[in-house]
Amino acid sequence: MGDGTLKGYQEVVLEYLKTKSVDEIKPFSRPPIIVKDDISPLEGFQILAENNIRACPVWSDKDRNFIGTLDLRDVCKLFVEVKRQKKEQKAHQHKHFSAISENEEEKPAMPVDELVAEQNIKPDSYEIRKKGTNLVLETITKHPTIISDSTTLRYIAKMRVLKRFPHDTNLLSIADALAEGSHLVAIDGEGENSKNGINMVITQKMLFQVISPVLEKIKLRADSIMRSPVISVEASTNAFDAFVIMADKGISALAVTDEDGSLVHNTSSRDIKQWVAGPAEEGGNAVDITDMTIEDFVVQVRQSKPSVKTCATVCSVHKESEVGHAVKLLLRTGYHHMWVVETTDDGNIPVGLISITDIFRKFAHTR
């Protein structure tokens, strides 16, 4: 395929995309899921998680238009910001009360057993775990940088622009938009499943499935297109500290290693989605992330949802492997990214990262 060079493969993929229309996506699509900006972010995030999607368009009755996109990747960032603010508030309050009286003690919080009795629910029950997860999400949505006087997701949605295309657009234009970081684009049109002028949405994963027959033939080495260096944490790292790194670095995936640096787990926005959906899925459990290591979080959040118990905790490929092999693994596992590893005496050391976005940028991007 092509002349075996990066440029040669790019030319083949781009030419393939030019000949394909959005109709090629229809077998992989479903009616668009749309949320309104007058619901709480908590409700919005839960809609995404319950429908097993990462993002969706947000409609405003006030503007009579789509104002942006709701994306579960934002949960981690907002959660970290809220926790930081709460720490600052607590430190300020402690300093204030100490100045009033060194002998005055702060009123103790209601013991857990009294709280449970007051709510008339059983300790360690499904209901209290669900309340715990919802409480964290509600705390996120009340952050002052997101709302002023009302709890809506309007502010969050406007952070991510919704790109729209006419129904006769070829897939090359769609690939360009998805290669620039958008997880979905909207296709305008009227039809049986259309909503507010949108006939369908195309996600990165949908386009990836359509062009995979071409991508699977790429024989370049995986380490020739990977991103590096890898950002990683040890398995014993506190889960919240791991989320802080993801939020501060603006990344959606983090390698989890043992003490020798060998890859053992992966955590990403996918885990956040499963955590949010945990209480909502029948048979699922909410996961309390307080004082939990990142390894325990990854294991427990995946065990909490019956539908993902068999999902591998990490997806990797050796640096000498072909890109085509990496494409097949991403398709089989359903992951959005994978780690590129080098085998040493200490194990499989992560040396790079390949995501669907990276593949689009390398082979399906005209800019």
Structure tokens at 55: 């993002």
Is the CB of residue 153 less than 8 Å from the CB of residue 39? Answer: yes
Per-residue pLDDT reduced to its tens digit, 194-249: 888 999 999 999 999 999 999 999 999 999 999 999 999 999 999 888 988 988 88
Q: What is the mean pLDDT of residues 312-332?
A: 92
Q: What is the mean pLDDT of residues 273-278?
A: 65
Give the contacts of 160 (CB within 8 A, at least 6 positions apart).
55, 68, 69, 70, 71, 182
Asked whether the CA dihedral 200, 201, 205, 210 is positive or negative, the reply is positive
Q: What is the pTM for the complete model shown?
A: 0.77
pLDDT band, residue 3 (cuts 50/70/90): confident
Strand partners, 185: 202
pLDDT value for 310: 44
Residue 155 pLDDT more than 90? Answer: no
How many degrees, rounded to 5, is the angle at CA 71 between CA 65 and CA 75?
130
pLDDT value for 194: 82
Per-residue pLDDT reduced to its tens digit, 37-64: 998 877 888 888 788 888 999 999 999 9
117 — phi, psi (to 5°)? -65, -40
As a whole number of angstroms, the distance between CA 230 and CA 86 comes to: 30
- Domain 222-363 fold is CBS-domain (3.10.580)
Domain residue spans of the chain:
31-162, 222-363
Per-residue pLDDT reduced to its tens digit, 13-30: 999 999 999 988 988 888
What CA dihedral angle connects 257, 259, 261 and 262, to 10 degrees? Answer: -60
Per-residue pLDDT reduced to its tens digit, 63-83: 999 999 998 777 777 667 766
Q: 């070829």: which residue's tokens? A: 170
Structure tokens at 257: 């290693």
pLDDT value for 299: 87
Between 146 and 193, the higher pLDDT residue:
193
pLDDT value for 119: 47
pLDDT band, residue 114 (cuts 50/70/90): very low
